[in-house]
Amino acid sequence: MRTSQVLESTETTPAPVPVASYTTTAQERIAELRRWRDQIPHFAIPATPDAMQRLSTAASLPPEFIELTSIATANNKPLVRVEALTPDEIRDLAAYADAYSPLADELEAFAKFVRYSTTAARNTAGNEALTTYALAVRLSKRPRTAYLAPHVADMRRALNRGRKPSPEVQAKRAAARAAKAAARAAATAAQAEPEVKPQV
């Protein structure tokens, strides 16, 4: 009976996934995404942080307007420029933009889902750690489990290092530092003033 229970518990409990395998599979996914650079036509990387903003004006023109200019160029020789793209090339670029824009939307949504997944994993791990910490704090105060006190101290130090103070706390600390600096400056100024002796 015990043997069957052990086998059952072994089958229902999944083995923990080694952390190294996550790193390996993540790097494989990154490599796959980078291979897309050679597979997506007209793939370009912005040279400056505001490159997208600079393109937005002409890129947001109505498709009808672009098609009308292509028709006009095809039917009127004075509009033909030597360095200009042909109407077919312009239509090809417009078709590319229409076809690949949904891919960009899908990738942006996918990135949000992956970010949510990693945040959810950190949240679960963090909640487990906080629960263990709270339990260790309580047990460390009992004589029978006082040996947990050094572990609690290590946890507390690590927890305080990882936490950033809130804006309110930062503002209070800054105000306190400013008040101390003003007090020191006033004390220094008072010491520097010459002592005025009363006239007889």
12 belongs to a structural domain: no
147 belongs to a structural domain: yes
* Cα distance between residue 78 and residue 85, in whole Å: 15
Q: What band does 2 get if pLDDT is binned at 50, 70 and 90?
A: very low
193 belongs to a structural domain: no
Please give the residue range of the domain that contains residue 148. Answer: 59-178
Mean pLDDT of the chain: 85
Helix axes 87-140, 63-75, angle to 10 degrees: 160
Residue 35 has pLDDT above 70, yes or no: yes
188 belongs to a structural domain: no
**Beta carbons within 8 Å of 59's beta carbon, 6+ residues apart:** 97
140 belongs to a structural domain: yes
54 belongs to a structural domain: no
191 belongs to a structural domain: no
Q: What tens digit of pLDDT does each residue of 73-115 get?
A: 999 999 999 889 999 999 999 999 999 999 999 999 999 999 9
* Cα distance between residue 110 and residue 133, in whole Å: 34
18 belongs to a structural domain: no
Counted domains in the chain: 1
Distances (CA, A) of 16 to 122, 136, 173, 187: 16, 24, 44, 63
Burial of 37 (0-12, 13-18, 19+ CB in 10 A): exposed
DSSP code of 193?
Answer: S
Residue 172 has pLDDT above 90, yes or no: no
Looking at residue 123, its pLDDT comes to 96
**Phi and psi at residue 72, to the nearest 5°:** -65, -40
Looking at residue 6, its pLDDT comes to 38
Residue 200 has pLDDT above 60, yes or no: no
* Cα distance between residue 90 and residue 9, in whole Å: 64
Q: What band does 3 get if pLDDT is binned at 50, 70 and 90?
A: very low
Q: Is the pTM of this model over 0.75?
A: no
